Structure 1
Amino acid sequence: MRPMARWAMTGGLLTAALAAPLSTPAHSAPATLYAPSALVLTTGHGEFAATTAPERAVTLNCAYTTSGTHPDPRRGCADLDRVNGDLDRLAVLRGNEAERPCTKEYRPVVVTIQGVWRGTRVNYEHTFANSCLKETQGASVFSF
């Protein structure tokens, strides 16, 4: 190989080696400016999540746009926004209780929520006396 061709090839490889790291960012920028809010909700018949097999699971994403497998993700995210993510306060939002009276039967239903809400880790478990109370006291978040 001629010396001039060798110098050109070496120069080209050196330029590519030095310029490649400069052309890619050190870290990728976040997709949105909103804190992540992605939750997995499960329900099952029993008193404790540790001893109860989940019968149903849905996802609820409440970042910039609402999505997920929850039957009504927009309303579920709106209810969570109204209580500022405090899941114990969802019973305050009950509006269906007057319209839908519940029986006093005891057939416990446990609900779990795990994931991230507005950038904060969530690990929640609550047992309702029956399915009717779960749907009325849990607002639309637990209606699945």
Structure 2
Amino acid sequence: MSLGIRMLGVGVGVAATLVSVSSAQAQNTDDLPASALTLTVAQGDSLESASSQRSVVLVCAPTVLGTHPATGSACDELNAAGGDFEKLHGRPMRMCPMIYDPVTVAADGIWQGSPVSYRHTYPSMCAAENRSTYVFEF
């Protein structure tokens, strides 16, 4: 048997294994409780008094999708924090200018089957980015 035919056989075997692993993973994610959130970033010290707001949808289970520009990374960041927004790590701490320009971030929806309603006001967008790399980056 030539090397080319053996390599083709190995490639087909690897492809079949990847398909079966992907199928198994897809089936496992169907068993996960729902995780779907509406995320909001508002310019102001509350959602009600914000001068501007932008919102996205982030779905992390049973499948990853939504209008968030980095759905996979945002879901990974939330999963690493156990869905606890207070435990998000964000970027390495950096110095932010001491200019008060408040930003309020919010999350409403369901995380792993439990209701979520989170609000936090930061003194600036720089301070907010120190807490979350992807979740509120849109």
- What residue in structure 2 maps to residue 118 of structure 1? 112
Amino acid at match of 1:94: G
- What residue in structure 1 maps to residue 99 of structure 2? 105
The within-5 A match list for 1:7-26 is: none
| Counterpart pick for 2:121 among 127, 135, 139 | 127
Amino acid at match of 2:116: V
Q: What are structure 1's unaligned runs of at least 5 residues?
A: 1-30
1:42, 1:54 within 8 Å by CA — same for their partners in 2? Answer: no
- What residue in structure 2 maps to residue 44 of structure 1? 42
How far 1:134 moved relative to its partner? 1.3
- What residue in structure 2 maps to residue 78 of structure 1? 76
Counterpart CA distance in 2 for 1:53 and 1:107 is 11
When the two structures are aligned, how many residues end up with a matched partner? 110
User: Could you say if the C-alpha distance between residues 74 and 127 of structure 1 is closer, same or farther in structure 2, counting changes exceeding 3 Å?
Assistant: same
Counterpart CA distance in 2 for 1:32 and 1:94 is 29
Counterpart CA distance in 1 for 2:39 and 2:90 is 19
Give structure 1 regions of 4+ aligned residues with deviation exceeding 2 angstroms: 50-54, 94-98
User: Could you say if the C-alpha distance between residues 53 and 119 of structure 1 is closer, same or farther in structure 2, counting changes exceeding 3 Å?
Assistant: farther
Is the partner of 1:126 in helix, strand or coil?
A: strand
Is the partner of 1:137 in helix, strand or coil?
A: coil
| Counterpart pick for 1:67 among 60, 65, 68 | 65
Counterpart CA distance in 2 for 1:131 and 1:51 is 16
User: Could you say if the C-alpha distance between residues 61 and 50 of structure 1 is closer, same or farther in structure 2, counting changes exceeding 3 Å?
Assistant: same
| Counterpart pick for 2:130 among 112, 132, 136 | 136
Residue identity over aligned pairs, in percent, reads 35
Q: What are structure 2's unaligned runs of at least 5 residues?
A: 1-28
Counterpart CA distance in 1 for 2:114 and 2:65 is 19
* TM-score of the superposed pair, with normalisation by structure 2: 0.72
How far 1:95 moved relative to its partner? 2.8
2:91, 2:129 within 8 Å by CA — same for their partners in 1? Answer: no
2:64, 2:75 within 8 Å by CA — same for their partners in 1? Answer: yes
Determine which structure has more spread, i.e. the larger CA radius of gyration: 1
How far 1:140 moved relative to its partner? 1.3
Kindly report the root-mean-square deviation, in angstroms, between the aligned alpha carbons of the 2 structures.
Answer: 1.8
2:100, 2:123 within 8 Å by CA — same for their partners in 1? Answer: yes
